[in-house]
Structure 1
Amino acid sequence: MNAQQARELYERYLTRLYVQRDVESMTDFFAPDVVAQPLPAGLPEGVPGLKLMARVWLESFSDIRFTIHSFLYDQGLVAVRLAVTGVHTGSFMGIAPTGRRVEITDHPHFRLHNGKVVEIWDQLDMMSLLQQLGAIPPAVQAA
Protein backbone atom coordinates (compact mmCIF):
# COMPACT_ATOMS: atom_id res chain seq x y z
CA MET A 1 0.00 0.00 0.00
CA ASN A 2 1.26 3.48 -0.80
CA ALA A 3 0.42 6.88 0.72
CA GLN A 4 -2.40 7.62 -1.74
CA GLN A 5 -4.05 4.24 -1.13
CA ALA A 6 -3.73 4.69 2.64
CA ARG A 7 -5.38 8.13 2.47
CA GLU A 8 -8.19 6.79 0.29
CA LEU A 9 -8.75 3.96 2.79
CA TYR A 10 -8.91 6.47 5.66
CA GLU A 11 -11.33 8.74 3.79
CA ARG A 12 -13.58 5.74 2.97
CA TYR A 13 -13.55 4.82 6.66
CA LEU A 14 -14.58 8.34 7.73
CA THR A 15 -17.36 8.42 5.14
CA ARG A 16 -18.76 4.98 5.92
CA LEU A 17 -18.67 5.42 9.68
CA TYR A 18 -19.50 9.06 10.26
CA VAL A 19 -21.39 10.20 7.16
CA GLN A 20 -23.25 6.97 6.37
CA ARG A 21 -23.29 6.11 10.11
CA ASP A 22 -22.46 2.46 9.35
CA VAL A 23 -20.83 1.17 12.54
CA GLU A 24 -20.76 -2.40 11.25
CA SER A 25 -18.45 -1.28 8.42
CA MET A 26 -15.63 -0.98 10.95
CA THR A 27 -14.82 -4.65 10.32
CA ASP A 28 -13.88 -3.61 6.76
CA PHE A 29 -11.19 -1.28 8.07
CA PHE A 30 -9.89 -2.80 11.33
CA ALA A 31 -8.29 -6.17 11.97
CA PRO A 32 -10.37 -8.26 14.43
CA ASP A 33 -7.59 -8.11 17.02
CA VAL A 34 -6.77 -4.40 16.51
CA VAL A 35 -5.01 -2.83 19.48
CA ALA A 36 -6.59 0.54 20.34
CA GLN A 37 -4.76 2.97 22.61
CA PRO A 38 -6.20 4.51 24.65
CA LEU A 39 -9.38 2.49 24.99
CA PRO A 40 -11.57 3.69 27.88
CA ALA A 41 -11.71 1.39 30.89
CA GLY A 42 -14.48 -1.17 30.79
CA LEU A 43 -14.71 -1.41 27.01
CA PRO A 44 -13.94 -4.72 25.32
CA GLU A 45 -10.71 -5.01 23.35
CA GLY A 46 -10.52 -4.87 19.58
CA VAL A 47 -13.28 -4.00 17.14
CA PRO A 48 -16.12 -4.51 19.66
CA GLY A 49 -14.71 -1.74 21.87
CA LEU A 50 -14.14 0.55 18.91
CA LYS A 51 -17.73 -0.01 17.76
CA LEU A 52 -19.06 0.95 21.19
CA MET A 53 -16.98 4.15 21.16
CA ALA A 54 -18.17 4.98 17.64
CA ARG A 55 -21.80 4.54 18.69
CA VAL A 56 -21.31 6.98 21.58
CA TRP A 57 -19.94 9.62 19.20
CA LEU A 58 -22.69 9.03 16.64
CA GLU A 59 -25.43 9.20 19.29
CA SER A 60 -23.93 12.32 20.89
CA PHE A 61 -23.01 14.42 17.86
CA SER A 62 -24.89 14.99 14.62
CA ASP A 63 -23.62 16.53 11.41
CA ILE A 64 -20.08 15.24 12.05
CA ARG A 65 -17.59 16.54 9.49
CA PHE A 66 -13.84 16.09 9.06
CA THR A 67 -11.21 18.28 7.50
CA ILE A 68 -7.87 16.55 6.99
CA HIS A 69 -5.07 19.07 7.46
CA SER A 70 -2.18 16.66 7.11
CA PHE A 71 -1.73 13.00 6.26
CA LEU A 72 1.65 11.32 6.58
CA TYR A 73 2.44 7.77 5.54
CA ASP A 74 5.67 5.83 5.99
CA GLN A 75 6.06 2.05 5.71
CA GLY A 76 2.60 1.22 6.99
CA LEU A 77 2.47 3.91 9.66
CA VAL A 78 -0.01 6.78 9.27
CA ALA A 79 -0.26 10.08 11.15
CA VAL A 80 -3.22 12.37 10.56
CA ARG A 81 -4.06 15.85 11.82
CA LEU A 82 -7.68 16.77 11.34
CA ALA A 83 -10.45 19.05 12.53
CA VAL A 84 -13.71 17.46 13.61
CA THR A 85 -16.95 19.44 13.79
CA GLY A 86 -20.39 18.39 14.90
CA VAL A 87 -23.48 19.45 16.82
CA HIS A 88 -23.95 18.17 20.39
CA THR A 89 -27.45 16.64 20.08
CA GLY A 90 -27.21 13.68 22.46
CA SER A 91 -25.88 13.01 25.95
CA PHE A 92 -22.08 12.71 26.01
CA MET A 93 -20.15 11.60 29.10
CA GLY A 94 -23.14 12.58 31.23
CA ILE A 95 -23.40 16.04 29.63
CA ALA A 96 -26.93 16.77 28.45
CA PRO A 97 -27.29 17.88 24.82
CA THR A 98 -26.40 21.55 24.44
CA GLY A 99 -27.14 22.04 20.74
CA ARG A 100 -23.71 23.67 20.42
CA ARG A 101 -21.57 23.24 17.34
CA VAL A 102 -18.12 22.08 18.42
CA GLU A 103 -14.79 21.92 16.65
CA ILE A 104 -11.91 19.87 17.97
CA THR A 105 -8.55 18.69 16.74
CA ASP A 106 -7.73 15.01 16.47
CA HIS A 107 -4.38 13.31 15.86
CA PRO A 108 -4.93 9.63 15.09
CA HIS A 109 -1.92 7.49 14.31
CA PHE A 110 -2.29 3.95 13.08
CA ARG A 111 -0.42 1.01 11.68
CA LEU A 112 -1.70 -0.78 8.59
CA HIS A 113 -1.11 -4.41 7.66
CA ASN A 114 -2.76 -6.12 4.67
CA GLY A 115 -5.04 -3.12 4.14
CA LYS A 116 -6.43 -2.99 7.67
CA VAL A 117 -5.65 -1.06 10.82
CA VAL A 118 -3.90 -3.35 13.29
CA GLU A 119 -2.96 -0.74 15.89
CA ILE A 120 -4.31 2.74 16.56
CA TRP A 121 -3.38 5.58 18.89
CA ASP A 122 -5.78 8.51 19.09
CA GLN A 123 -5.09 11.88 20.67
CA LEU A 124 -8.34 13.83 20.62
CA ASP A 125 -8.44 17.30 22.22
CA MET A 126 -10.93 16.36 24.94
CA MET A 127 -10.10 19.44 27.04
CA SER A 128 -11.27 21.72 24.25
CA LEU A 129 -14.39 19.61 23.67
CA LEU A 130 -15.38 19.69 27.34
CA GLN A 131 -14.81 23.45 27.44
CA GLN A 132 -16.99 23.97 24.36
CA LEU A 133 -19.74 21.88 25.95
CA GLY A 134 -19.57 24.00 29.11
CA ALA A 135 -18.49 21.09 31.31
CA ILE A 136 -15.30 22.85 32.39
CA PRO A 137 -14.38 26.53 32.24
CA PRO A 138 -12.13 27.83 29.46
CA ALA A 139 -8.44 27.86 30.39
CA VAL A 140 -8.38 31.67 30.63
CA GLN A 141 -11.15 31.62 33.23
CA ALA A 142 -9.59 28.72 35.11
CA ALA A 143 -6.29 30.61 35.51
Structure 2
Amino acid sequence: MTSAHQLALNEEIVRELYTCIQANRADRFEALVSTEHVDHSNGRHGPAGFAAAVANLHNAYSNFRIELETVVAADDLVVIQWHETGLHTGQFFNLKPTNQPFEARGLNMYRLAHGKIVDSWIAVDPKTFRAQQLAQATLRDAT
Protein backbone atom coordinates (compact mmCIF):
# COMPACT_ATOMS: atom_id res chain seq x y z
CA MET A 1 0.00 0.00 0.00
CA THR A 2 1.20 3.50 -0.84
CA SER A 3 1.81 5.86 2.08
CA ALA A 4 -0.19 9.07 2.50
CA HIS A 5 3.03 11.00 1.91
CA GLN A 6 3.66 9.20 -1.41
CA LEU A 7 0.04 9.73 -2.52
CA ALA A 8 0.37 13.45 -1.82
CA LEU A 9 3.70 13.59 -3.69
CA ASN A 10 2.23 11.76 -6.71
CA GLU A 11 -0.72 14.16 -6.77
CA GLU A 12 1.63 17.14 -6.50
CA ILE A 13 3.69 15.89 -9.48
CA VAL A 14 0.60 15.53 -11.67
CA ARG A 15 -0.75 18.92 -10.59
CA GLU A 16 2.62 20.44 -11.53
CA LEU A 17 2.36 18.72 -14.92
CA TYR A 18 -0.91 20.56 -15.54
CA THR A 19 0.61 23.86 -14.43
CA CYS A 20 3.31 23.27 -17.07
CA ILE A 21 0.72 22.28 -19.69
CA GLN A 22 -1.23 25.48 -19.01
CA ALA A 23 1.92 27.61 -19.25
CA ASN A 24 3.35 25.64 -22.21
CA ARG A 25 6.53 24.97 -20.19
CA ALA A 26 8.05 22.07 -22.13
CA ASP A 27 11.35 22.71 -20.35
CA ARG A 28 9.80 21.33 -17.11
CA PHE A 29 8.54 18.02 -18.51
CA GLU A 30 11.89 16.23 -18.02
CA ALA A 31 11.59 16.79 -14.26
CA LEU A 32 8.07 15.28 -14.19
CA VAL A 33 7.95 12.65 -16.94
CA SER A 34 10.19 9.60 -17.16
CA THR A 35 12.20 9.02 -20.33
CA GLU A 36 10.58 5.55 -20.19
CA HIS A 37 7.08 7.08 -20.20
CA VAL A 38 4.50 5.36 -22.42
CA ASP A 39 1.31 7.10 -23.48
CA HIS A 40 -1.13 4.29 -24.12
CA SER A 41 -3.64 6.57 -25.86
CA ASN A 42 -1.79 8.59 -28.46
CA GLY A 43 1.56 6.86 -28.97
CA ARG A 44 3.72 9.75 -27.76
CA HIS A 45 6.38 8.85 -25.28
CA GLY A 46 8.71 10.49 -22.80
CA PRO A 47 9.06 14.20 -22.04
CA ALA A 48 9.37 15.00 -25.76
CA GLY A 49 6.00 13.36 -26.40
CA PHE A 50 4.37 15.56 -23.78
CA ALA A 51 6.09 18.63 -25.24
CA ALA A 52 4.79 17.84 -28.74
CA ALA A 53 1.23 17.23 -27.53
CA VAL A 54 1.16 20.44 -25.51
CA ALA A 55 2.64 22.44 -28.38
CA ASN A 56 -0.18 21.12 -30.61
CA LEU A 57 -2.78 22.33 -28.12
CA HIS A 58 -1.25 25.78 -27.75
CA ASN A 59 -0.76 26.14 -31.53
CA ALA A 60 -4.37 25.16 -32.25
CA TYR A 61 -6.13 27.06 -29.46
CA SER A 62 -5.58 30.70 -28.59
CA ASN A 63 -6.20 31.51 -24.94
CA PHE A 64 -5.88 27.80 -24.11
CA ARG A 65 -6.89 27.05 -20.52
CA ILE A 66 -7.12 23.77 -18.67
CA GLU A 67 -8.81 23.43 -15.31
CA LEU A 68 -8.60 20.42 -13.02
CA GLU A 69 -12.05 19.53 -11.76
CA THR A 70 -11.30 16.33 -9.84
CA VAL A 71 -8.04 14.75 -8.71
CA VAL A 72 -7.92 11.25 -7.19
CA ALA A 73 -4.72 9.54 -6.07
CA ALA A 74 -4.63 5.85 -5.17
CA ASP A 75 -1.62 3.55 -4.96
CA ASP A 76 0.69 4.60 -7.81
CA LEU A 77 -2.11 6.16 -9.90
CA VAL A 78 -3.46 9.70 -10.20
CA VAL A 79 -6.68 10.32 -12.13
CA ILE A 80 -7.59 13.80 -13.35
CA GLN A 81 -10.95 15.02 -14.61
CA TRP A 82 -10.28 18.18 -16.63
CA HIS A 83 -12.01 20.92 -18.59
CA GLU A 84 -10.22 22.87 -21.30
CA THR A 85 -11.22 25.91 -23.30
CA GLY A 86 -9.79 28.16 -25.97
CA LEU A 87 -10.42 29.73 -29.34
CA HIS A 88 -9.79 27.35 -32.25
CA THR A 89 -7.42 29.46 -34.37
CA GLY A 90 -4.94 26.82 -35.62
CA GLN A 91 -4.90 23.35 -37.17
CA PHE A 92 -5.57 20.52 -34.70
CA PHE A 93 -4.93 17.14 -36.32
CA ASN A 94 -7.55 16.98 -39.13
CA LEU A 95 -9.57 19.91 -37.75
CA LYS A 96 -9.03 23.17 -39.56
CA PRO A 97 -9.41 26.37 -37.53
CA THR A 98 -13.01 27.41 -36.96
CA ASN A 99 -12.19 30.64 -35.10
CA GLN A 100 -14.90 29.54 -32.70
CA PRO A 101 -14.69 28.93 -28.95
CA PHE A 102 -13.59 25.42 -28.09
CA GLU A 103 -14.44 23.43 -24.99
CA ALA A 104 -13.56 19.84 -24.05
CA ARG A 105 -13.74 17.59 -21.03
CA GLY A 106 -11.87 14.42 -20.33
CA LEU A 107 -10.18 12.05 -17.94
CA ASN A 108 -6.49 11.24 -17.77
CA MET A 109 -4.85 8.57 -15.65
CA TYR A 110 -1.17 8.56 -14.77
CA ARG A 111 1.01 5.89 -13.16
CA LEU A 112 4.03 7.15 -11.27
CA ALA A 113 7.24 5.47 -10.16
CA HIS A 114 10.32 6.97 -8.54
CA GLY A 115 8.78 10.45 -8.57
CA LYS A 116 7.99 10.58 -12.29
CA ILE A 117 5.11 9.78 -14.61
CA VAL A 118 5.77 6.46 -16.36
CA ASP A 119 2.39 5.65 -17.97
CA SER A 120 -0.59 7.70 -19.09
CA TRP A 121 -4.02 7.13 -20.58
CA ILE A 122 -6.26 9.85 -22.05
CA ALA A 123 -10.02 9.80 -22.61
CA VAL A 124 -11.56 12.87 -24.27
CA ASP A 125 -15.29 13.35 -24.67
CA PRO A 126 -15.83 12.44 -28.36
CA LYS A 127 -18.76 14.87 -28.68
CA THR A 128 -16.20 17.68 -28.60
CA PHE A 129 -14.57 16.63 -31.84
CA ARG A 130 -17.83 15.70 -33.56
CA ALA A 131 -19.16 19.17 -32.74
CA GLN A 132 -16.06 20.79 -34.25
CA GLN A 133 -16.29 18.61 -37.35
CA LEU A 134 -19.96 19.56 -37.72
CA ALA A 135 -19.03 23.25 -37.35
CA GLN A 136 -16.44 22.85 -40.12
CA ALA A 137 -18.94 21.13 -42.39
CA THR A 138 -21.43 23.94 -41.74
CA LEU A 139 -18.76 26.55 -42.54
CA ARG A 140 -17.82 24.72 -45.77
CA ASP A 141 -21.46 24.50 -46.82
CA ALA A 142 -21.98 28.22 -46.14
CA THR A 143 -19.12 29.24 -48.46
Normalised-by-shorter TM-score class: 0.7 to 0.9
Aligned residues: 133
Q: Residues 86 and 103 of structure 1 are in contact (CA less than 8 Å); yes or no, is this contact kept in structure 2?
A: yes
Change in Cα spacing, 1:30 to 1:48, as seen in structure 2 (3 Å) is same
Quote the Cα distance in structure 2 between the aligned partners of 1:75 and 1:51: 26
Give the structure-1-normalised TM-score: 0.79
Number of the residue aligned with 2:38: 35
SS in 2 for 1:7: helix
The superposition leaves residues 98-137 of structure 1 with CA deviations (integer Å, 9 ceiling, x where unpaired) of 2211111110001011211000001112431341362468
Quote the Cα distance in structure 1 between the aligned partners of 2:115 and 2:137: 40
Q: Aligned partner of 1:100: which letter?
A: Q
Number of the residue aligned with 1:101: 101
Quote the Cα distance in structure 2 between the aligned partners of 1:38 and 1:94: 17
**Residue segments in structure 2 that go unaligned for 5+ positions in a row:** 139-143
The superposition leaves residues 28-82 of structure 1 with CA deviations (integer Å, 9 ceiling, x where unpaired) of 1110010101125xx6x43333322221111111222222221111111111111
Q: Residues 96 and 136 of structure 2 are in contact (CA less than 8 Å); yes or no, is this contact kept in structure 1?
A: no
SS in 2 for 1:81: strand
Q: What fraction of aligned residue pairs are identical, expressed as a percent? A: 20
Number of the residue aligned with 1:63: 63
Offset at residue 16 of structure 1 (A): 1.9
Quote the Cα distance in structure 1 between the aligned partners of 2:80 and 2:10: 11
Quote the Cα distance in structure 1 between the aligned partners of 2:62 and 2:14: 20
SS in 2 for 1:52: helix
Does residue 49 (structure 1) correspond to residue 49 (structure 2)? The answer is: yes
Structure showing greater Rg: 2
Number of the residue aligned with 1:73: 73
Number of the residue aligned with 2:131: 131
